[in-house]
């Protein structure tokens, strides 16, 4: 079982004719994802991998009955592409694009609250329900179907932790990369509550990192609302204050919040064991199962 | 991207926010000339990208020509928290009776801009925020509508600004918000906004930071970017386009994706080593980028050992392996031992390509990091 996506999900790829869009459409279809349409202004009538391309997302949704979108659109146009997805009543929009201006995302975030669409990202690796569908750029071969949910702010860290789980035979219900930008759609709490409600998810891994206060807020949510056990990991323990480590979110102000220590303490207080290494995270999950 | 104070003041002044008379100077003679033109007293202010300039001796007041020379001599060329001061702003000193704070930034938790006003200006506003949060009035702005005039007035009255100047301060705040919005700023702040005995207000300092991801919309601001690297290695990283942070240790770390690279740093520390740097080659890196990354890390003389940790998603293992081979085969001698761990997309293809005579290979992250830490100990 799964959350958000499965083999019934009908996917439209925005930006399907670009290099990344084309390559990952192939990869997604090879994995078994039901890609039904592409949407690129000016490219209507073409085909990519036998998938029909439309000029607008509205047309793609109307003609092919799509219910989810994956967005591979360059940063300058990504904000508009997300608005377009939100205007079509899709259930899910997944924005892979890195480097979307924060003020654009602020406007998107406002619009999002007025729709029923769920947004993942931007600057995220996407979502995968192993054996059924992947929407995004995650390497499908490391995942295995099973009973552990995973939510992470970092793409490659997701892969690392999943690898540690799969290597010892622990499969996943769904893995979600929520992205490391300052303003994102789905956050830890949204993902955790979906896993809590999923009868097939028996334990959850939550991978966070320094910067912001999302992990501290998630810890409070876990303590109050979750029966499903959660194991945590926090990247950036050794990061020096005041330096930006790649992700926009991964900066420590030095004022006490947002540090690895404050996040680990908050999670421990909520009963969430935080591994020192990805291998220890897998140990902790094994203990729960 | 951070603008210098003089650059931010130009932008503020163009938008209609009052700023003191000022001139940029690079030598003692230029400082004196500017001071004579403006009229004493003047402030001489170091233009470097660090906070707390005043306390560190980077801002001095001069009442006359001798003091202006003295201030210029002590500030130009000084080392301010790792940066050499090459430019100073010479500015007419404002005779003030009160200091305010006004600012606009993004509240990432709310996903909305927030405008702020405080009568506790002229001091470290972050300390005020921590010790006396009620001393700062905050107003969240709907990004779709922008700031309504009533919101600016509300923030100003909530902060307890004197009614004689309240409308003027509200107008500065509105201008500051519009400018923040127009320029894709991440922060726009005036601290202090000085109030004179004639109830005039003047921006005595100016902070304007621009969202680097939005610079494509602002070629005029992008031109203002000045190199503010702390050393040659950071400059090189900037030229190569890497996310790079230099640290104090001796284990060089290269990886893909911020979260995984930070985790690799943490594991080096966990296994008893010390990270020399954070270097993220980013997503989808081709061979050349990998070669550049190795060049960077080998250029750091503190590095005794290197660990290359790749978990491919959008990045492909075969491209990474090609880059590692190219970098190492071009050298007569490999300066420091390199441990490689390749997983994910096309990792198997990568392992077939990788010249294992030149590197040590480990299958897991934990083993790779431990091996690199051991290598570093042996090299010392």
Per-residue pLDDT of B43-81, as tens digits, reads: 999 998 877 788 889 999 999 999 999 999 999 999 987
d(CA B177, CA B188): 8
Peptide bond into A122 cis (omega under 30): yes
Model confidence, pTM: 0.92
For residue B177, CA distances in Å to A171, A254, B192 come to 49, 27, 17
CA distances from B194 to A243, B105, B168, B376 (A): 31, 20, 12, 55
- List chain B residues with CB under 8 Å of A99: 213
- Produce one character per residue of B14-23: b if its CB has 16 or more CB atoms within 10 Å, e if not: eeebebbebb
The residues facing B343 across adjacent strands are: B311
Contacting residues of B for A159, CB less than 8 Å apart: 260, 311-313, 343-344
User: Are B106 and A213 an interchain contact pair (Cβ–Cβ within 8 Å)?
Assistant: no
Contacts of A152 in chain B (CB under 8 A): 259
Q: Do A106 and B256 touch (CB under 8 A)?
A: no
Distance between CA atoms of residues B28 and B60, nearest Å: 14
Check residue A132 and give its pLDDT: 97
What are the E-state strand segments in A73-179?
92-95, 118-120, 126-129, 133-136, 145-152, 172-177
What tokens were used for B296?
């960077």
Q: What is the pLDDT of residue A241?
A: 76
Residues in chain A: 289
What is the spatial distance between Cα B177 and Cα B173, in angstroms, rounded to a whole number?
A: 6
Per residue in B35-53, pLDDT (tens digit) is 999 999 999 999 988 777 8
Quick one: closest CA in A to B317, which residue?
A: A139
Active site residues of A: 247
Give yes or no for residue A197 having a pLDDT over 90: yes
Question: B231 CB near a chain A CB, below 8 Å?
Answer: no
Q: What is the mean pLDDT of chain A?
A: 94
Cis preceding linkage at B41, omega within 30 = yes
Q: Mean pLDDT over residues B358-376, rounded? A: 96
Write out chain B residues lying below 8 Å of A243, CB-based: 245, 278
For A244, the closest chain B residue by CA position comes to B245
Residue B283 C-alpha, separation from nearest chain A C-alpha, in angstroms: 9
Residues of B annotated catalytic, as ranges: 101, 189
Going by pLDDT thresholds of 50, 70 and 90, the confidence category of residue A257 is low
Return the minimum-mean-pLDDT range out of A200-214, B13-27, B277-291: B277-291
Going A126 to B345 to B317 to B259, the CA torsion angle's sign is positive
Q: What is residue A277's predicted lDDT score, i.e. its pLDDT?
A: 95
Token duo for residue B348: 């198997």
B263 to chain A, any CB pair closer than 8 A? The answer is yes
Are the C-beta atoms of A154 and B260 separated by less than 8 Å? Answer: yes
Here the ipTM equals 0.92
Q: Read off φ and ψ for residue A68, nearest 5 degrees.
A: -145, 155
């Amino acid at each position: 079982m799964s959350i958000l996506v499965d083999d019934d999900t009908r996917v439209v790829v925005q930006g399907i004719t670009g290099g990344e869009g084309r390559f990952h459409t192939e990869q997604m279809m090879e994995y078994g994802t039901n890609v039904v349409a592409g949407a690129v202004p000016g490219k209507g009538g073409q085909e990519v991998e036998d998938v029909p391309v439309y000029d607008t997302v509205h047309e793609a949704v109307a003609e092919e009955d799509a219910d989810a979108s994956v967005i591979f659109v360059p940063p300058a146009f990504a904000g508009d592409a997300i608005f377009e997805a939100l205007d079509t009543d899709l259930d899910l929009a997944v924005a892979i694009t890195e480097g979307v201006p924060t003020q654009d995302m602020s406007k998107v975030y406002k619009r999002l609250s007025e729709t029923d669409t769920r947004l993942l990202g931007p600057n995220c690796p996407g979502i995968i329900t192993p054996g059924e569908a992947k929407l995004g750029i995650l390497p499908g071969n490391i995942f295995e179907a099973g009973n552990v949910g995973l939510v992470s702010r970092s793409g490659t860290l997701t892969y690392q932790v999943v690898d540690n789980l799969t290597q010892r035979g622990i499969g996943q219900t769904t893995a979600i990369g929520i992205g490391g930008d300052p303003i994102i759609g789905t956050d830890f709490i949204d993902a955790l509550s979906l896993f809590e409600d999923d009868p097939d998810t028996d334990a959850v891994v939550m991978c966070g990192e320094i910067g912001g206060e999302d992990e501290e807020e998630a810890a409070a949510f876990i303590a109050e609302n979750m029966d499903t056990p959660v194991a945590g990991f926090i990247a950036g323990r050794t990061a020096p204050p005041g330096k930006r480590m790649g992700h926009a979110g991964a900066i420590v102000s030095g004022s006490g919040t947002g540090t690895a220590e404050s996040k680990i303490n908050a999670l421990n207080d909520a009963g969430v064991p935080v591994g020192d290494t990805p291998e220890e995270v897998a140990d902790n999950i094994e203990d729960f199962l | 991207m951070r603008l210098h104070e003089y650059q931010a003041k130009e932008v503020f002044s163009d938008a209609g926010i009052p700023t003191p008379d000022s001139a940029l100077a690079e030598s003692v003679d230029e400082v004196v000339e500017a001071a004579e033109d403006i009229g004493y007293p003047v402030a001489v202010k170091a233009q470097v990208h660090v906070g707390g300039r005043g306390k560190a001796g980077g801002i001095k007041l001069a009442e006359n020509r001798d003091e202006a020379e003295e201030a210029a001599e002590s500030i130009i060329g000084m080392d301010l928290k790792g940066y050499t001061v090459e430019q100073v702003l010479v500015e007419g000193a404002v005779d003030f009776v009160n200091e305010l704070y006004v600012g606009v930034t993004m509240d990432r938790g709310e996903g909305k801009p927030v405008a702020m006003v405080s009568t506790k200006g002229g001091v470290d506003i972050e300390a005020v925020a921590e010790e006396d949060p009620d001393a700062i009035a905050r107003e969240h702005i709907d990004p779709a509508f922008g700031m309504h005039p009533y919101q600016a007035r509300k923030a100003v009255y909530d902060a307890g600004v004197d009614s004689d100047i309240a409308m003027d301060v509200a107008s500065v705040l509105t201008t500051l918000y519009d400018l923040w919005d127009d320029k894709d700023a991440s922060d726009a702040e005036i601290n202090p906004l000085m109030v004179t005995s004639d109830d005039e207000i003047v921006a005595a300092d100016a902070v304007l930071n621009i969202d680097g991801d939005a610079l494509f919309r602002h070629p005029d601001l992008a031109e203002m970017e000045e190199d503010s690297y702390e050393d040659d290695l950071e400059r090189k990283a900037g030229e190569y386009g890497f996310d790079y942070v230099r640290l104090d240790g001796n284990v060089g770390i290269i990886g893909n994706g911020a979260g995984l690279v930070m985790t690799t740093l943490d594991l080096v520390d966990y296994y008893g080593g010390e990270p020399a740097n954070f270097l993220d080659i980013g997503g989808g890196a081709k061979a050349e980028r990998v070669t550049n990354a190795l060049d960077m890390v080998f250029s750091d003389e503190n590095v005794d050992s290197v660990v290359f940790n790749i978990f491919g998603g959008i990045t492909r293992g075969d491209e990474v392996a090609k880059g590692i081979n190219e970098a190492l085969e071009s050298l007569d001698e490999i300066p420091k031992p390199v441990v490689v761990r390749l997983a994910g997309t096309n990792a198997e293809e990568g392992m077939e390509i990788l010249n294992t005579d030149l590197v040590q290979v480990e299958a897991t992250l934990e083993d790779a990091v431990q091996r690199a830490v051991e290598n570093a100990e042996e090299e010392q």
